C-alpha cells in the first residue's frame, strides 16, 4: 500500500492539475431554488472561482451564525485526519459536515472524473484539467434528531478542499458575509430582514450586491389556464372552451383555489346552442424532488362545482349543478369525470371530459 501511495504521488508531481469550471452565478441557473435549501440565498464570490452560498428561511438565522471561519477551522482539522490521499486529484469531493450539540460528523462522497483532459504548452509538463469543483456543505443538527433541516445550510464551492485552509490563512470569509448582511440591511425597496420576505443576493468579488427576485417568502401568485375539451354527456360528444383563474397562496403548499368559466357547445338540431357554467374549484399537487417546493404541473387531483350562468338552449334544466374533478393529468392533458344534476342528486347525468391546455 505504501509503495502504491509513493507511485501515485510521483505520477501527480509529473502531471500538474488545472481547474476548469463555469464562472456564472449558481443562483441564476435553472431550478436554483430546488438545488439549495431555504427560501432565501446569499452567494458571495471569494475569488479564484471559490464561492460561498448560504440558504436560509430567516435573516436572523444567518446573523446567529456569522462566524463561519471558526467552523471552517474545525472542518480543516477534522478533514486532515481522515483525508484519503490515494484518491485521484481530479475527482470531485462532496463533504457533508454536521455540527451537533456535543459532537461533529463528516461524510465524504467522491465522484470520479469520467473524461481525462489535458493541456499542453511547449517546453512545459502536461496539465491535467479538473472539471468539477469540490463542495463543503455545513449543517447544524440537534441531540434529538440528526435530520438535515431544510431551512438553513451553508455551501462552500472550492477548486479543492485544500483551498479552505488557504482562504483562512489569507483572512477568512467572515468579512465577506458581514458585507453581504450589511447590503441586505441597506436595501431600500423592501425590509429584507423581515421573516415574511425572501430573496436571492449575488455579491461579486468587489462586494457589490445584486438582488434577484425579492418578494414575499411564500410567493403567492395567480395563474391563468385556457383550454379546450370535449365531454361525453347523455351519449353526446360536447366540445367546450374553458378558462380558469387559479390562486396559489404559497409555493410551499400543495393546494390552490380556482374560479373558471366553461362554454359547452351543442350541435344537435333540436338543441343547438351553448350552455355556460361558472365553476369554483380546489386542486392538490405533488411536491418536487426536494420535498419542499410544489410541482404545479403535477396535479394529484381536483374538485369543482359549477353553476349555470348563460344558455341559449334547454339542454339542462335551469337549476342544474355541475360536479367534477381531475383524476389524471399528463402535462397539459387532463381526464375529468363529471356529474350534472338538478336539486339534490335528482336527474343525475354522469359524464366524462377530456381537456387539453394551451
Closest CA to 200 of 220, 219, 174: 219
Tell me the C-alpha distance between 336 and 229, whole Å: 10
* Sign of the alpha-carbon dihedral angle for 231, 233, 237, 241: negative
Q: Where in the chain is the domain with CATH 2.40.160?
A: 221-357
What is the full DSSP assignment across 99-153?
Answer: E-SS-EEEEEEEE--SS-EEE--TTS--EEEE-S-EEEEEEE--SS--PPPSSEE
**Digit-coded pLDDT (tens) for 342-356:** 877 778 889 999 999
Cell representation of residue 42: 446569499
**Digit-coded pLDDT (tens) for 157-169:** 999 999 999 999 9
Cell representation of residue 246: 387559479
pLDDT, residue 34, reads 74
Tell me the C-alpha distance between 255 and 238, whole Å: 30
Mean pLDDT (the chain) is 86
Give the DSSP H or E segment for 246: strand 236-248
Give the DSSP H or E segment for 264: strand 255-266
Q: Is the pLDDT of residue 242 over 80?
A: yes
Cα→Cα distances 32→39, 41, 58, 129, 132, Å? 11, 10, 18, 26, 18
Cell representation of residue 178: 458581514
- Contact call for residues 200 and 211 (beta carbons, < 8 A): yes
Closest CA to 52 of 135, 157, 207: 157
Q: Is the pLDDT of residue 173 over 50?
A: yes
Q: Is the pLDDT of residue 14 over 60?
A: no
Q: How many residues does the chain have?
A: 358
**12, HSE (Cβ side, Cα atoms, 13 Å):** 15
Q: Is the pLDDT of residue 89 over 60?
A: yes
- Contact call for residues 237 and 231 (beta carbons, < 8 A): yes
Q: Which pLDDT band, with edges at 50, 70 and 90, does 314 fall under?
A: confident
Determine what percent of the chain falls in helix, strand and coil, rounding each to the nearest 5: 15, 50, 35
pLDDT, residue 1, reads 41
Angle between helices 68-82 and 174-185 (to 10 degrees): 150
**Digit-coded pLDDT (tens) for 29-54:** 877 777 888 889 999 999 988 999 99
Q: Is the pLDDT of residue 10 over 70?
A: no
The phi, psi pair for 293, rounded to 5°, reads -80, 160
- Contact call for residues 214 and 189 (beta carbons, < 8 A): yes
What is the full DSSP assignment across 151-175?
Answer: SEEEEEEES-TTHHHHHHHTT-SHH
Alpha-helical (H) ranges within the chain are 2-14, 32-35, 59-63, 68-82, 163-169, 174-185
**Digit-coded pLDDT (tens) for 277-295:** 999 999 999 887 767 778 8
- Contact call for residues 43 and 25 (beta carbons, < 8 A): yes
| CATH hierarchy code of domain 221-357 | 2.40.160
Amino acid at each position: 500500500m505504501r509503495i502504491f501511495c509513493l507511485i501515485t504521488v510521483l505520477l501527480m508531481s509529473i502531471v500538474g492539475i488545472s481547474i476548469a469550471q463555469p464562472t456564472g452565478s449558481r443562483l441564476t441557473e435553472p431550478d436554483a431554488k430546488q438545488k439549495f435549501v431555504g427560501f432565501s440565498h446569499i452567494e458571495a464570490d471569494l475569488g479564484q472561482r471559490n464561492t460561498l452560498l448560504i440558504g436560509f428561511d430567516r435573516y436572523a438565522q444567518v446573523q446567529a451564525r456569522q462566524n463561519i471561519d471558526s467552523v471552517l477551522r474545525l472542518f480543516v482539522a477534522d478533514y486532515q485526519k481522515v483525508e484519503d490521499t490515494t484518491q485521484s486529484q481530479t475527482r470531485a469531493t462532496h463533504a457533508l459536515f454536521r455540527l451537533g450539540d456535543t459532537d461533529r460528523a463528516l461524510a465524504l462522497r467522491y465522484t470520479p472524473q469520467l473524461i481525462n483532459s489535458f493541456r499542453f504548452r511547449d517546453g512545459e509538463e502536461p496539465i491535467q484539467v479538473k472539471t468539477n469543483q469540490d463542495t463543503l456543505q455545513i449543517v447544524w443538527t440537534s441531540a434529538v434528531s440528526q435530520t438535515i433541516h431544510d431551512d438553513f445550510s451553508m455551501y462552500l464551492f472550492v477548486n479543492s478542499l485544500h483551498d479552505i485552509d488557504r482562504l483562512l490563512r489569507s483572512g477568512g470569509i467572515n468579512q465577506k458575509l458581514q458585507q453581504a448582511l450589511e447590503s441586505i440591511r441597506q436595501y431600500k425597496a423592501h425590509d429584507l430582514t423581515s421573516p415574511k420576505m425572501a430573496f436571492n443576493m449575488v455579491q461579486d468579488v468587489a462586494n457589490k450586491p445584486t438582488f434577484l427576485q425579492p418578494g414575499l417568502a411564500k410567493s403567492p401568485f395567480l395563474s391563468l389556464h385556457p383550454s379546450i375539451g370535449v365531454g361525453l354527456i347523455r351519449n353526446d360528444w360536447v366540445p367546450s372552451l374553458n378558462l380558469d383563474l387559479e390562486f396559489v397562496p404559497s409555493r410551499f403548499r400543495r393546494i390552490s383555489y380556482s374560479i373558471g368559466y366553461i362554454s359547452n357547445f351543442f350541435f344537435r338540431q333540436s338543441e343547438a346552442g351553448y350552455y355556460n357554467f361558472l365553476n369554483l374549484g380546489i386542486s392538490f399537487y405533488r411536491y418536487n424532488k426536494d420535498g419542499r417546493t410544489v410541482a404545479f404541473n403535477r396535479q394529484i387531483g381536483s374538485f369543482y362545482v359549477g353553476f349555470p350562468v348563460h344558455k341559449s338552449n334547454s339542454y339542462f334544466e335551469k337549476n342544474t349543478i355541475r360536479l367534477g374533478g381531475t383524476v389524471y393529468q399528463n402535462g397539459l392533458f387532463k381526464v375529468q369525470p363529471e356529474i350534472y344534476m338538478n336539486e339534490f342528486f335528482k336527474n343525475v347525468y354522469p359524464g366524462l371530459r377530456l381537456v387539453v391546455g394551451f
